[in-house]
Amino acid sequence: MTDKEVRSLFFDSHFADQPIKELPCDNLSREEWLSYRTSLLSLGGSDMGTILGLNKYKDVTRLYFEMIDPMQRYITRNNTDSIFAFWGRAFEDKIADMWQYHDGDDESMMLNESKGYKVKEWRKRDSMIYNEDYPFIVANIDGEIVNHPLVGSGILEIKTISGYAYDMWQSIPPYYYLQPQAYMIATGSDYAEIAALRDGRHLEVYCFDANINIQNRIIEEAYAFMERVEKGRSMDTSNMTKEKFFHHALEWAPEPSNADYTEFLKENKNLRDARNDIDADTELEEMALEYLSLKEGIKENKGELETLEQLIKYRLTKDSAVRATSPKIRITWKNKFLVRRQ
């Protein structure tokens, strides 16, 4: 992008003195947008749930490796949309249009739409927006609220959610709440709404004011994560095999946050060079004993069991180990992962 293509954001005149910049993307195909977005040394709003460990569908270690290898020289990445993401994107503008008529429930929305009465208005923004004070956070918003009866302007984010996911949380998933806060950091706005279509038939609207505590946590975690990424990207990868790249990059990698770490390793089968037998140190032994307590039902917490399994695997991966033993435990991870008492 040239300097001329970088222009000041114009959410409202009172944002004119803020260091907000906008990179137009309206002429890019989705493939070009994905390539450009991946090449940026920055995080998007949907990444915040991953780096804070709230997104159970994507592990933070996977995200780290994707960002240090944007050209996929070493890491295999699946860029294919899920069917949920496909339909979510296909219906995005229609959901946003119907949001304009939403006044608290589906009935009032349908009545307002039949009369052509818009309660609020939005416009599409095909651009990447960032705050020069926090350039490692980029917003690619679904829409801009331009006429709201209570707040005037803000950010509009569109989601589709299944009834199953809604019943799990009795709301939208927790990691969705981080996205509008990240976008407010990037855009300088102080208000956002999520319009979520549940089960393809119920439109629900969630309103967010800027929350300085959440935003400070996002900035802190995003900055720390991007420091790791910068170190990973600074490696001299000349003549490196995939195994060497992976092993060296693990030095700065964050610890895994969920079972997607195992899936990431399965998708990249040649990365893990496991061949060593090691002595389990006190920390690894304690993790293994805690894992066994959970596994044997002494404690019941599936989420904690899953987390411990990923952390143990992470330790074995860093040591290129297939086995770890101590007087109390034996861990084996070649094709199958096993933890046993001695």
What are the tokens at 88?
Answer: 């979510």
**Cα dihedral sign for 263, 269, 272, 275?**
positive
pTM of the full structure: 0.86
The Cα 249–Cα 271 span in angstroms is 11
**Is 204 in the same domain as 256?**
no
**Is 203 in the same domain as 257?**
no
Task: Kindly state whether residue 232 falls inside one of the protein's structural domains.
Answer: no
**Is 280 in the same domain as 319?**
yes
**Is 12 in the same domain as 112?**
yes
Final residue in a domain of this structure, among 215, 232, 250: 215
**Is 171 in the same domain as 297?**
no
Task: Kindly state whether residue 67 falls inside one of the protein's structural domains.
Answer: yes
Whether 183 and 221 have beta carbons less than 8 Å apart is answered as no
Task: Kindly state whether residue 187 falls inside one of the protein's structural domains.
Answer: yes
**Is 147 in the same domain as 282?**
no
Q: In sequence order, what DSSP letters do the residues of 237-275 get, joined into one string?
A: -TT--HHHHHHHHTTTPPPP-STHHHHHHHHTTTT----
Amino acid code (one letter) for 223: Y
Task: Kindly state whether residue 191 falls inside one of the protein's structural domains.
Answer: yes
**Is 286 in the same domain as 208?**
no
**Is 109 in the same domain as 191?**
yes
| 78-121: pLDDT as tens digits | 666 677 778 888 899 999 999 999 999 999 999 999 999 999 99
Task: Kindly state whether residue 89 falls inside one of the protein's structural domains.
Answer: yes
Task: Kindly state whether residue 22 falls inside one of the protein's structural domains.
Answer: yes
pLDDT at 157: 96
Is the pLDDT at 7 greater than 80? The verdict is: no
pLDDT at 239: 86
Which of the given ranges, 22-26, 78-82, 135-139, has the highest pLDDT on average?
Answer: 135-139
**Is 102 in the same domain as 188?**
yes
Task: Kindly state whether residue 54 falls inside one of the protein's structural domains.
Answer: yes
pLDDT at 17: 55
**Is 69 in the same domain as 206?**
yes
With a pLDDT cut of 90, the percent of the chain lying above it is: 58
CB atoms within 10 A of CB 26: 9
Domain that holds residue 75: 3-215
CB atoms within 10 A of CB 201: 8
| Least confident segment among 12-21, 204-213, 278-287, 317-326 | 12-21
| 158-176: pLDDT as tens digits | 999 988 888 888 889 999 9
Residue 18 dihedral angles phi and psi, to the nearest 5°? -95, 150
Is the pLDDT at 144 greater than 90? The verdict is: yes
| 34-83: pLDDT as tens digits | 667 666 678 999 999 999 999 988 999 999 999 998 777 888 776 666 77
Structure-model confidence comparison of residues 25 and 137, the more confident one: 137
**Quick one: average pLDDT of 137-148?**
93
What is the Rg, in whole angstroms, of the alpha carbon atoms belonging to the chain?
Answer: 23
Q: What is the CATH number of the domain that holds 108?
A: 3.90.320.10
Q: In sequence order, what DSSP letters do the residues of 48-89 get, joined into one string?
A: HHHHTT--TTS-HHHHHHHHH-TT-SS-----PPPHHHHHHH
**Is 142 in the same domain as 268?**
no
Provide the domain count of the chain: 2
Residue with tokens 């969630």: 206
Task: Kindly state whether residue 331 falls inside one of the protein's structural domains.
Answer: yes
**Is 49 in the same domain as 126?**
yes
Is the pLDDT at 4 greater than 60? The verdict is: no
Three-state DSSP state, 306: helix
pLDDT at 216: 96
Instruction: Find, among 205, 207, 204, the residue nearest to 181 by Cα.
Output: 207
Q: In sequence order, what DSSP letters do the residues of 151-169 get, joined into one string?
A: TEEEEEEEEEE-HHHHHHH
